[in-house]
Amino acid sequence: MAQAQVAAKQSSIGFGKAERKLLTDPLDSNNPVTVQVLGICSALAVTTGMKNALVMAIAVVFVTMFSNIITSALRNSIPKAVRMIVQLIIIATLVTIVELTLKAVAFDSYKQLSVFIGLIITNCIVMGRLEAFAMANGPYRSMLDGIGNGIGYGIILIMVAFVRELFGKGELFGAKLIGATDDYLLNTQSFELFDIHWLSWYANNNLMVLFPSAMFVIGAIIWAHRAWNPSLVDVS
Amino acid sequence: MGELLNIFIKSAFIENLALSYFLGMCSYLAVSKTVKTAFGLGLAVIFVLGITMPINWVINNFLLSETGIFSTDLTFLRLILFIAVIASMVQLVEMVVEKFSPSLYNSLGIFLPLITVNCAILGGSLFMVSKEYNFMESVSFGLGGGFGWFLAIIAIAAIREKIKYSQVPPALRGLGMAFMLTGLMGLAFMSLMGIDPAAF
Amino acid sequence: MTSLVALVLSLMYTGLKGTHELNEAIYAKKAILAAVQNKLGIDAGSLPVEKVQEIFDSSIKQEVYDMKGNLLTPEQVEAAGYKGGLAENVDINKEAKKPESERILPLYKFKDGNNEFTILSVQGKGLWDVIWGNIALEKDLKTIAGVDFDHKAETPGLGAEIKDNKVWKNQFIGKSIYDKAGNFTGVAVIKGGAKEPTWQVDGISGATITADGVGEMLKRGLNYYGPVLDKMEKS
């Protein structure tokens, strides 16, 4: 395969076309969430707000990037039998580091994300990229691949969180944008900018705040993605 | 005994790992194309959950907590130890399945080792820690959670087999449809919220 | 390799432990200030750490009582298992696991210029797991000045609204914990709308069980402070 041949010349730390492809592929044609179907679990509970989604995305980029680098650097010295356990230990360590850091610098997010930070370990993207790429490529290219996939995942998370937070609570990053009266029955509070109540007829769509809505939104994103890029349509 | 049954029913239906918390989605969506593979994977998940939950409980309460044998708070090692236990147990299950049912082993293929990274397994253990169950309760929680996940994946596999013959828009076919279906099933399961099995 | 991993993690853990504990303490303190934030005109959640510490040091007197209304010394609080011996160290969820007669009650007296509030902590059961809250009473110890609730595992958008929905929480301000005849009622959360606005608030649609839990928590939890508040009123 062409990529394997390119991988043979891996020691060059350039930023040519091949490297750029590593970063941009996961954003579109090889998106980890919508195409490779990885990393869905955490995409649901953390997308209730933009802030949490952003924190999660950064955490995943960090973990994917560093686990790719470390595994790639060690790839020739890991015996085949314990391969999986070693990979898991690398990932688990990085995630524990992320968890401890988050608890120290962003305590509110830590409280809200709770269990799901630990679940980054089982986020199939991290493991999937280790197996599919880092075990066969050099550290520099693995790092790019890790960043690319992490960002591809992050973009989907942010898209879903955007829809869910805006239409579910009328807020973005906690700042009220649309919605009406000080009426807790409709779960809305007022927002004024330049003395105008923006879209004050809008009542929060509570469905968006519940978990299943994330599934619908991702399904819709996949639909849109495949309609826009017909090469991805499932012909089975 | 009643309390244990209570927890079993709660974790199987009311707090279903797959449809209420959406854990284990990757394998859930990837393996549910036919009921046969879904059945095999579901059974494997029940088994792994039922075994790893008590072991993780022992580790959490006797090794890592302040009242354990090391007398210091070692909870930062929790993630690593949990995942190591899960990986070893899955390896064990793999060997058992290969010996007793080679056809199932072949049809499951790569997905058997992938149970290790199934969020539902690690997620179940982390929930057990957060809910502070005792030993018997965590066994019940593990089996119940596994059973619930098993039911969920069989249900969606059955639906997906049938929906192959429906007129779904091309871009939505396959994966997109599976997401929508899961969302609908999740919504349906929300109707079970708040039921307290102890009342029966 | 495992030893390297264990070493790195334990170094990081011990290094960050101080920050973690500080964060937990500040989080709890912010929850207490959130009960009076409306009256003070501040947003407790966004206060910087130093300001939280400053308000606590200058305006809040912390006391811990037992169920009979006796003031406990810091040594007695420490003996109950809380290092530090102050009200802020008492873990209300841990207390709830003890039999009722053995529990201890944290109480915060806020006095700052014109404002004087008494803040109590209550705990109860929501739909999935425990819920708890801080209730601020006015000087008369009968009217509510503000509330703040938190939960362990309620559903976002439904039960979690007891924490997230500011407007719903604001309903509690001005409610009395006694009905017109002078009987203690706590504040009841009524599904479908409050009938007796003196001591009732409206419920949250879709979150009946959690809202019922709040009502029960208020009635029982505030009742625990009965002996304490009686003594305070007399003095």
| Distance, CA of A12 to CA of A16 (rounded, Å) | 10
Chain A residues close to B170, C-beta within 8 Å: 226, 233
A14, part of any domain: no
Per the structure, the complete domain to which residue C15 belongs is given by 2-234
Chains that touch B (3 or more CB pairs under 8 A): A, C
Distance from CA of B110 to the nearest CA of A (A): 12
Q: Each residue's pLDDT tens digit in chain C (235 positions)?
A: 677 877 888 888 888 888 888 888 888 888 888 888 888 878 877 788 888 888 888 888 888 888 888 888 888 888 887 887 788 888 888 888 888 888 888 888 888 888 888 888 889 888 878 889 998 888 888 888 888 998 887 877 778 888 877 778 888 888 888 888 888 888 888 887 788 888 888 888 778 888 888 888 888 888 888 888 888 887 7
Nearest residue in A to C155, CA atom: A210
Chains that touch C (3 or more CB pairs under 8 A): A, B
Q: Are strands C130-137 and A192-193 parallel, antiparallel or unpaired?
A: unpaired
Q: Do A103 and C20 touch (CB under 8 A)?
A: yes
Query: Above 70 in pLDDT, residue B161?
Result: yes
The pLDDT confidence band at residue B150, using thresholds 50, 70 and 90, is: very high
Q: Tell me what pLDDT residue B151 has.
A: 92
Write out the H or E segment, with its range, that includes residue C182: none
As a dihedral over the C-alpha atoms of residue C215, residue A168, residue A188, residue C125, rounded to 10 degrees, the angle is 10
Chain A residues close to C23, C-beta within 8 Å: 103-104, 107
How many independent structural domains does chain A possess? 1
Q: Do C166 and A189 touch (CB under 8 A)?
A: yes
How many independent structural domains does chain C possess? 1
| Distance, CA of B81 to CA of A93 (rounded, Å) | 10
A116, part of any domain: yes
Q: Are strands C188-190 and C144-151 parallel, antiparallel or unpaired?
A: unpaired
Dmax over Cα atoms in chain A, in whole Å? 67
Task: Give residue-wise pLDDT tens across range B91-139.
Answer: 888 888 888 888 877 877 766 777 887 888 888 888 888 888 888 888 9
Q: Do B186 and A219 touch (CB under 8 A)?
A: no
A32, part of any domain: yes
Q: In what order do the strands lie in the sheet with C144-151?
A: C60-66, C104-112, C115-125, C130-137, C144-151
Q: Do C157 and A168 touch (CB under 8 A)?
A: yes
Per the structure, the complete domain to which residue A65 belongs is given by 28-159
Q: Which of C3, C7, C12, C155 to mutate to test the interface with A (most CBs of A within 10 A)?
A: C12
The reply to whether A121 touches chain B by the CB within 8 Å rule is: yes
A204, part of any domain: no
A99, part of any domain: yes
Q: What is the ipTM of this complex?
A: 0.78
Query: Above 90 in pLDDT, residue B197?
Result: no
Tokens encoding B60? 């959490």
Nearest CB neighbour to C13, from listed B15, B76, B194 = B76
Find, among C218, C234, C225, the residue nearest to C63 by Cα.
C225
Chain B residues close to A213, C-beta within 8 Å: 183
Q: Do C23 and A107 touch (CB under 8 A)?
A: yes
The pLDDT confidence band at residue B144, using thresholds 50, 70 and 90, is: very high
Chain B residues close to C13, C-beta within 8 Å: 76
The reply to whether A211 touches chain B by the CB within 8 Å rule is: yes
Nearest residue in B to A92, CA atom: B80
Find, among B3, B12, B29, the residue nearest to B146 by Cα.
B12
What is the pTM for the complete model shown?
0.80
Q: Which long-range contacts (CB under 8 A, 24 or more apart) does B10-13 make?
A: B10/B144, B10/B197, B11/B140, B11/B141, B11/B144, B11/B145, B11/B148, B12/B144, B12/B145, B12/B147, B12/B148, B12/B151, B13/B148, B13/B189, B13/B192, B13/B195
Chain B residues close to C10, C-beta within 8 Å: 76
Alpha helix segments (H runs only) across chain B = 2-9, 25-31, 35-58, 78-100, 102-108, 119-131, 135-163, 175-189
| Distance, CA of C44 to CA of C29 (rounded, Å) | 9
Size (chain A), residues: 236
Task: Give residue-wise pLDDT tens across range B7-28.
Answer: 888 888 888 888 888 888 878 8
User: Which residues, including other chains, have CB under 8 Å from residue B45's CB and lie 6 or more apart?
Assistant: B24, B115, B118, B120, B121, B146, B149, B150, B153
Residue ranges of chain A whose CB lies within 8 Å of a chain C CB: 48, 86, 89, 93, 96-97, 100-101, 103-104, 107-108, 111, 168, 182-185, 187, 189, 206, 209-211
The reply to whether A229 touches chain B by the CB within 8 Å rule is: no
Please say whether the beta carbons of A161 and A178 come within 8 A.
no
Q: Tell me what pLDDT residue A234 has.
A: 63
Distance from CA of A112 to the nearest CA of C (A): 10
**Burial grade of B70 (CB within 10 A; 0-12, 13-18, 19 or more):** exposed
The pLDDT confidence band at residue A13, using thresholds 50, 70 and 90, is: low
Q: Tell me what pLDDT residue C151 has.
A: 87
Q: Tell me what pLDDT residue A181 has.
A: 46
Per cent of chain A over pLDDT 70 is 78
Chain C residues close to B130, C-beta within 8 Å: 152-153
A172, part of any domain: no
The pLDDT confidence band at residue B149, using thresholds 50, 70 and 90, is: very high
In terms of phi and psi (left: phi > 0; alpha: psi -120 to 50; beta: otherwise), the region of A179 is left
A44, part of any domain: yes
Nearest residue in B to A90, CA atom: B80
The pLDDT confidence band at residue A11, using thresholds 50, 70 and 90, is: very low
Chain B residues close to C208, C-beta within 8 Å: 194
- What is the mean pLDDT of the segment spanning A157-185? 70
Nearest residue in A to B20, CA atom: A211
The reply to whether A219 touches chain B by the CB within 8 Å rule is: yes
The pLDDT confidence band at residue A201, using thresholds 50, 70 and 90, is: low
Write out the H or E segment, with its range, that includes residue C230: helix C226-234
Instruction: Give residue B174's Cα distance to chain centre.
Output: 23
Query: Above 60 in pLDDT, residue A94?
Result: yes
Tokens encoding B117? 């990274």
The pLDDT confidence band at residue A42, using thresholds 50, 70 and 90, is: confident
The pLDDT confidence band at residue A187, using thresholds 50, 70 and 90, is: very low
Q: What's B70's DSSP letter? A: T
Task: Give residue-wise pLDDT tens across range A98-154.
Answer: 888 888 888 888 888 877 888 888 887 888 788 778 777 888 888 888 888 888 888
